[in-house]
Amino acid sequence: MPPAASKDVFRAVADPTRRRILDLLAESEQSVGELVLRFSMSQPAISQHLRVLYDAGLVGRHREGRLKKYRLRPERLRRVHDWSAHYAHFWTDKLGALGRYLDKPDH
Amino acid sequence: MARTLVFDVDYPHPPDRVWAAITSSAAIGEWLMANDFAPELGRRFQLRAKPMPGWSGIVDCEVVELEPPGRMVWRWKSDHIDTTVSFTLVPTPTGTRLHLVHDGFRGPRGHFVSWMMRGWKGILRKRLHGVLERFETIVEGTALTPARSCR
């Protein structure tokens, strides 16, 4: 029941390469070049993965000299892994809908 | 690390009417999701919503308890969870109280969620020591949502 705001996060971490990138960024900040050394992938491919993670709000970046460094932004992960929180909203909605259904006069 | 969601909702309608609304496929289709439910013990059925990234939109259910006119329990399995949902109806002076318990959120299930959990905990250990304690409390505490009424 992920709310719309979380869907990009789910999409982003559905890919094993991107999960591995996040694992590495959890260890320390990395530049694209440093990340490329850890994968058998081209720099454009890694950059593309970083873009998806960045758009999902899972990584941040800043300049360090002429390098762009990427770092993990862990806040969003906490929100999406907690399924019970999603269901709390879900049932609040549904039990309200049940009330409206019962209030209709035709049954 | 199990969590339980508990809801108590008072409806100004008699129990038989509420019972009918939670045990009829057509009614469930109106207030919950499209389904092929039937009020039979052991009945396996699906609830279906629009899929979205991260969720198939399908819940596989089974009627594991059925005691008309006041109690029904479903097994509720979806992408990352294997849980139970129980409905208990209690007559009140003004109508019916529905006591709904969604139980068995046992934290990480499947590689995706377990990866997130491991990742998150690792990150916290390394970088966010202060927040760690608070987060552990949230996840491992029994998170009872307060009883609430929809009206």
Interface predicted TM-score (ipTM) of this complex, two decimals: 0.72
Give the tokens for residue B142. 């029994």
Q: Is the pLDDT of residue B86 over 70?
A: yes
pLDDT at A1 over 90: no
* CA torsion through residues B141, A97, B27, A5, sign: negative
Kindly list the residues from chain B whose CB atom is less than 8 angstroms away from the CB atom of residue A82: 139
How far does chain B reach from its first CA to its final CA, in angstroms? 32
Q: According to the model, what pLDDT value does residue A43 have?
A: 94
Answer yes or no: do B105 and A102 touch at CB < 8 A: no
Residues B83-88 have a mean pLDDT of 95
Give the pLDDT mean for B111-138: 42
Q: Does B64 touch chain A (CB under 8 A)?
A: no
Whole-number percent of chain A with pLDDT over 70: 82
Place A23 in a pLDDT band, splitting at 50, 70 and 90: confident
Q: What is the pLDDT of residue A85?
A: 67
- When mean pLDDT is compared across A12-16, A21-25, A61-65, the lowest value belongs to A12-16
pLDDT tier at A56 (50, 70, 90 boundaries)? Answer: confident
What confidence score (pLDDT) does residue B2 get? Answer: 58
Distance CA B11, CA B5 (A): 19
| Residue B123 in this model has a pLDDT that exceeds 50 | no
Question: Among candidates B27, B26, B22, which has minimal Cα distance to B96?
Answer: B22
Quick one: tokens of B13? 């309608």
Angstroms from B42 CA to nearest CA on chain A: 23
Is B1 a residue whose pLDDT tops 60? no
Distance of CA B77 to the CA centre of its chain: 10
Q: How far apart are CA B121 and CA B1, in angstroms?
A: 14
B149 strand-pairing partners: none
Give residue B4's pLDDT band: very low, low, confident or very high (50, 70, 90): confident
CA distance B41 to chain A (A): 23
Helix (H, G, I), strand (E, B) or coil at A70: strand
**pLDDT of B11:** 94
Q: What is the Cα–Cα distance from B129 to B57, expressed in whole angstroms?
A: 36
Do A72 and A25 form a contact (C-beta atoms < 8 A)?
A: yes
The pLDDT of residue A20 is 85
Tell me the residues of chain B between 120 and 149 that have a Cβ less than 8 Å away from chain A.
120, 122-124, 126-128, 135, 139, 143, 145, 148
User: How far apart are alpha carbons B88 and B8 in whole angstroms?
Assistant: 9
The 10s digit of each residue's pLDDT in B28-38 is 999 999 999 99
Distance from CA of B57 to the nearest CA of A (A): 8
- What secondary structure letter does DSSP report for B142? -
Number of other CB atoms surrounding residue A104 within 10 Å: 8
Of residues B142 and B9, the one with the higher pLDDT is B9
* B109, closest residue in chain A (CA to CA): A81
Q: How many CB atoms lie within 10 A of CB B114?
A: 14
Residue carrying structure tokens 């950059």: A47
Please tell me the pTM assigned to this model.
0.58
Q: Give contacts of B124 with chain A, Cβ < 8 Å.
A: 74
Helix H or strand E segment including B147: none
Cβ distance B77 to B6 under 8 Å? no
Predicted local confidence at residue B84, as pLDDT:
94
Q: Is the pLDDT of residue B150 over 60?
A: no
Q: Given this model, what pLDDT does residue B56 score?
A: 81
Across residues A6-22, what is the average pLDDT? 76
Place of tokens 């809908």: A97
User: How many Cβ atoms are within 10 Å of A44's Cβ, its own excluded?
Assistant: 10
Whose tokens are 């590495």? That residue is A24
